[in-house]
Structure 1
C-alpha cells in the first residue's frame, strides 16, 4: 500500500509583530558576507538558470538546475514571477519557498544603513551545501520601511543515507517585518494575501505550507523552530519517504506550549498496513488521544532509548489500567482491539532526551482504517537536573538497524 503522509510543522501561536533572531549562515564573502549577488535589484525577476552543487530527488523528481526568484523562493522547472502566494499544493511550479511574497528590491536608498542591503545572494560554501539569502528585502511597491531577512539552505545527505538525491532543506529567518505587498491586497506591508512558507512538488501528499502561512502569523516563524533554535526550520527529503514514514523523519505537532494541553497532530492522512511516525516534546511517558478519524490498534516504540523497554496502559472505565509491561522498542505491539486512548510510560529520565529535538522520541501508530486522524499526545514530565545532550540521532539510527529484526507480537 502506498503511504499517504502529511508534514505538520511545530509552531507556536504567533503574534503578528516584528521579531528578530540571528540564525543566519554567513562567512561566504561578497558585499554582505552572503556570497554572490544573484540578480540585480528588481520586482518579480529571477536569476538565470543555475546548477545545483548536487543533484536532488525532490519527492520522486530529480533536479540538477534551479532558478532563484526574487519573490522568496527557488523553482526547478523554470523561472517564477508570481508575486501573490497561494497555500500549497498548487498544480504547477515545483518550488521551495522560505517566504513566498511580493519582494521588491528596487529601492536601494531609503531606510538602508548599508548600500548593499535589499538584495538576493547565493553561496555554495562546499559541494554539499547551497545557501540563498534574501537580505533585508522590501516589499512592493518600492517599500523598504519594513524589511525581511531569510535564507534557504539545501544540504546533500546522500553520503549519510546511502541514497542518491537525499537532502535536507532549512528555512532560516533573521527578521520578518512584513507579510504582504501592495498588489496582493496589502497595506503598509500587512493584510491581504500574506506570505506562504513551505514547498510544492505538485501533489497534496508531497507539498506543505507551514503553519501561519497565508496569515499575518507567518511572521512568527522567526520566533519558533522544529529543531530547537529560534528561526530555524529543518525538513528531511528522503527519496519518496515523506514526513511520517520513518522514525528519522516524523510528523511534527501543530502547536507548542508547556505540554499541559498536549501536542496536536491534526488531520493526518492515515491508512492501514504501515505506521505513521509522530514526534512530540520528550518526557518520561505520553498520553495519546485520537479525537477523530480511524482508531489505533497497535504501536511501535523507538528502540535504543534508555533500556528500550516500556509499559502500555489502556483506559477502561475512565481509569488507566496496565495492559502490557516491559514491551521492547522496535516491536510492532498489537492491542488486540481498537482504542482512542492509550498511555506509554517507562522512559528513563537518565536518557536525557533533548525536548527541543524533532527526532527526540518518535512513535509509530498503527491505525485500523483509512481516513484523516487527529491525535493529541500529552507529555508526562518530571523535572530533572540539566545534563549534557545525548547523541539522540546516533541512538535513533542504531535503533533503526534493530527494527529490521524485530518480531511481531500479539497479546493474547
Structure 2
C-alpha cells in the first residue's frame, strides 16, 4: 500500500531577537522615516501602478508591478478599493495584506502624535527590499480615536535560493487598536467584519489568513510572533514549493497559544508520496494525535539532534507502552499497524531544544491512505531547559529554516 508522509518542520531560527524589540523598520527618510508618502490622504483609494524592485514569483504567478492600497494591502492584478475584508481564499484579487481593513487617512488633525502621521509610506532601501508602512492610520469614517501602525516588507531571496522570484514577506505591527470601519459593521473601531491579515494568490492551497483574522483577536498580531520578536511575522514564498511542501515554507497551526494544548493543523489535504510540512513547537518529546482522516502507520524522525536516537510509544489499553527504543533519526520506521496516536521521547535536554525559543522538531508522519487529516502535536516539556549558546547544531538535521506561530512566554 502506498503511504503519504506528512512532515513537521525543523525550525532553526536564531532566538537572539528580543520580544520587546521595536518591530518597525525605519531610517528611510521622508516625513516620518518611513520613506515617501505614496498617496494623498483618502478613503478607499490606492497608488498609481508601481514597479517592484525585484520580480517575484507569487506561488506560480510572476509579477513585476503592484499597487499600494489604502486599506492595508498591496495587489498585483490591479488596484483594490474593497474596504470590508474577507477571509482568504477569495477569487477577486491577488494580494498580500498585513492588515486588510477600512483604513481612512483623511483626518489629519485630531489625536495624531505628529502632523505627518495617518499616511501611507513607501521605501525601497535597496534593490532587494520593499517596505510599505501604514503609519498611525485611522478608520472609516474619519476616526482617529484609535490608531494602527503596521508594515509590509518584501525581501528578494533569489540569490540565496538560486531560484528567480523567491522572496520573503514580513508583516510588522507597531500598534493595533482598531479592527473595523463604520461601513463594515463596526462601532468605535471594533466588531463587525474585522480585519484580515495574510495573503491570497487565487487558490486555496496558496492563500492563508493569519490567526485571529476576521475576529477581534487579530489585534493580537502586535503581541505575538512566529520568529521570536513580538509584532513580527515572516513567511517564505518559493516558486517551486507551495505552503506545506518544504520545511522552510510550512503550513502554520490554526491556534496561537503557549503550545500547552498542542498545535492544531486542521483539515489539511494529504496524499501519497509527498510530505506536507507543518510547524509546531518542541521540547524533549511529543505526543501525536490524529482526530480525523487517514491514520499513521510509520514515522521518520529528525536526524542530528542530540544522539539522533528516539523512543516510540503506542497507546495500548489506555496506557502508553514502549513500542521501540533507540529508533534512528532519518530512517523510516514502520509501526506494523495503523494508529491514531503515538509518542516520541528521548530528545536530550543538552540538545538545546528550548520550548521557550522559536525552534521546532521535524517529524515525518506516514499515512495509510489519501484524505484530509487533522493532526495535533503536543510538546512534552521539562521544568528546566538550559539556554543554548548556539542553535547551529540544529541545522545539521535538515539545514533549513521554518517558523512556528506561538505566543511569547514569560
TM-score, normalised to structure 1, is: 0.88
Report the more deviating stretch, 350-359 or 107-116. 350-359
- 1:3-402 to structure 2, matched below 5 A, reads 22-355=22-355, 360-382=360-382, 383-391=384-392, 394-398=395-399
Q: Would you say the 8 A contact 2:96–2:199 is kept in 1?
A: yes
Question: What CA deviation, in whole Å up to 9, does each residue of 1:270-317 have, x standing for no partner?
Answer: 222222222321101101011111111222222222222222222222
Question: What CA deviation, in whole Å up to 9, does each residue of 1:91-136 have, x standing for no partner?
Answer: 1210000000010101111111201100011111122111111000
Structure 1 residues 4 and 167: alpha-carbon distance in aligned structure 2, compared to 1, 3 A threshold: farther
CA distance in 2, matches of 1:238, 1:359: 21
Q: Would you say the 8 A contact 1:122–1:132 is kept in 2?
A: yes
Q: Please, what is the CA RMSD of the aligned residues?
A: 2.4
Gaps in structure 1 of 5+ consecutive residues: 8-19, 401-412
Q: Would you say the 8 A contact 1:360–1:392 is kept in 2?
A: no
Structure 1 residues 284 and 170: alpha-carbon distance in aligned structure 2, compared to 1, 3 A threshold: same
Q: Would you say the 8 A contact 1:353–1:392 is kept in 2?
A: no
Q: CA deviation at 1:251?
A: 2.5
Structure 1 residues 399 and 73: alpha-carbon distance in aligned structure 2, compared to 1, 3 A threshold: closer
Q: Would you say the 8 A contact 2:211–2:256 is kept in 1?
A: no
Matched positions, count: 387
CA distance in 2, matches of 1:360, 1:338: 25
- Report the 3-state secondary structure (helix = DSSP H, G, I; strand = E; otherwise coil) of the residue aligned with 1:220: helix
- Report the 3-state secondary structure (helix = DSSP H, G, I; strand = E; otherwise coil) of the residue aligned with 1:350: helix
Query: Equivalent residue for 2:11?
Result: none
Q: Would you say the 8 A contact 2:313–2:324 is kept in 1?
A: yes
Query: Equivalent residue for 1:407?
Result: none
Q: Would you say the 8 A contact 1:276–1:365 is kept in 2?
A: no
Q: Would you say the 8 A contact 2:354–2:388 is kept in 1?
A: no
Q: CA deviation at 1:4?
A: 12
Q: Would you say the 8 A contact 2:253–2:265 is kept in 1?
A: yes
CA distance in 2, matches of 1:303, 1:266: 27
Question: What CA deviation, in whole Å up to 9, does each residue of 1:303-360 have, x standing for no partner?
Answer: 2222222222222222222223332322232322211011111212122134355552
- Report the 3-state secondary structure (helix = DSSP H, G, I; strand = E; otherwise coil) of the residue aligned with 1:53: strand
Q: CA deviation at 1:36?
A: 1.3
Question: What CA deviation, in whole Å up to 9, does each residue of 1:239-262 have, x standing for no partner?
Answer: 142332222222332334444322
Q: Would you say the 8 A contact 2:131–2:153 is kept in 1?
A: yes
Structure 1 residues 117 and 395: alpha-carbon distance in aligned structure 2, compared to 1, 3 A threshold: farther
- Report the 3-state secondary structure (helix = DSSP H, G, I; strand = E; otherwise coil) of the residue aligned with 1:217: helix
Report the more deviating stretch, 97-106 or 241-250. 241-250
- Report the 3-state secondary structure (helix = DSSP H, G, I; strand = E; otherwise coil) of the residue aligned with 1:23: coil
- Report the 3-state secondary structure (helix = DSSP H, G, I; strand = E; otherwise coil) of the residue aligned with 1:287: strand
TM-score, normalised to structure 2, is: 0.88
Q: Would you say the 8 A contact 1:306–1:347 is kept in 2?
A: yes
